[in-house]
Every structure is written in C-alpha cells, then in structure tokens.
Amino acid sequence: MSDVDFQRQREQLIREELPMLGIHDVAVLDAMMSVPREDFVSKEMREFAYRNAPLPIGFGQTISQPLIVAYMIEALQLTAHERVLEIGTGSGYAAAVLAQIVREVLTIERHPKLAEASRARLKRLGYDNVHVIHSDGTLGLPDQAPFDAIIVAACGPSVPPALQQQLALGGRLVIPVGEKQGSQKLIRVIRQDEDDFDFEELGYVHFVPLVGEAGW
C-alpha cells in the first residue's frame, strides 16, 4: 500500500470517523493526523493500520484502537507546556501522539524487547521529546515526578497509589480499572489538593492487564 493510500485512510479515520464518534479536541485530532500509525505496527498489520480496532504487537500486547487513544488523550485535557507520564509504551504510538501535543513524554514499558523497539522507532521517526524507560509502570517514576498528566494503557484492579501521588496539583490521571477479563471502567482522577482526589467514571473499556507490583 502506498503512502498516498495511507494518508487517505488516515484522513478518513481521523477527520471523518473519529469526530462522528465524539472526538472533537482539535489538538488531539491534529496530533493523530501527524503520526503515521502504519509505522507502529508490523509489516503484516500495516494494511489494517487505519481500521478503528486494536492490533497485536507481540508479547500478548496490542496497539490500542484509535478511538480509545483519542478518547483517553482528550480526557487528559492537555496543554502544550505540560509533562506527561505514560504507563504501557507498547509500540510507541500513543506516546508519539502525546509528543505532538505536550512538552515532554516519559513512557514506561515492562517488556524489555518492546521498550527497545519502541525507543528505536520513536528516535528514527524524530520524536525527540519522548523518553522510553524499561521498568514497572505501576510504580511510576517518583524521581521524575510530579507530572501534569498520567495515562495508563492497561487495566489495574485499582488505581495504583504511587501514580496518584506523582500527580501535580491539578494533574489528571486516566486509567482503566476493573477485572482482568471482565468489566472494566475508564476512570479519570484529578488531584485537587495534597490529599484530595476527584474520581470520575468515563465509560466501559477493555484493556490487557496492568502487570506489576501495584497491578495484577
């Protein structure tokens, strides 16, 4: 498939389909238009890059459905000067989208080979404000905190306390919470004060399990 075909499919998905499904944040849509999703999947999956569906990337992980990526990033209510922590780098696609919106993205991946591959891919594609760390994402990055926003691309049994504590005042955390294979809800946490957090349910989702000390 040619670059022209991918561009046409990208425009159809992001400029037509996603707004019809409720995504209206111009910064999010523009960022997704600028990121070539076909470069974040395997050669075998490239022809499906602009289907609004998750795709396998190996190690039992997936690149999330474009609608979910857009919805979660939109829910973070980001501004250009902010620093974002992502848990679950995967192929690096969501980190690339985030990098087009904010000042800096730190992203944690627990699979060493996925971390290495995404680091190389992001560097090759020129996303210089993204830093990939191989670590336990459920513990966050306390030495780099606080973060203006945290996004978690896997479902935990609850919101990891370490991630809550690494939010700046006014910071937003978006995470799926629920059962490994059953009902999961997307939760937005907003830190109002040192020990005051607001919790809001955003809808039902389905994610792979969040594995780590404060996960499954």
Domains in the chain with CATH codes? 3-205 (3.40.50.150)
The answer to whether the Cα torsion of 13, 200, 144, 86 is positive or negative is negative
Rg over CA atoms, the chain: 16
Q: What pTM was computed for the model?
A: 0.95
Active site (catalytic) residues: 64
Distance CA 210, CA 120 (A): 24
Residue spans of the chain under pLDDT 70: 1, 4
According to the model, what pLDDT value does residue 1 have? Answer: 67
Angle, to 10 degrees, between the axis of helix 26-34 and the axis of helix 66-75? 140
Residue 60: what pLDDT?
84
Q: In terms of C-beta density within 10 A (0-12 exposed, 13-18 middle, 19 or more buried), how is residue 204 classed? A: exposed
pLDDT value of residue 195: 92
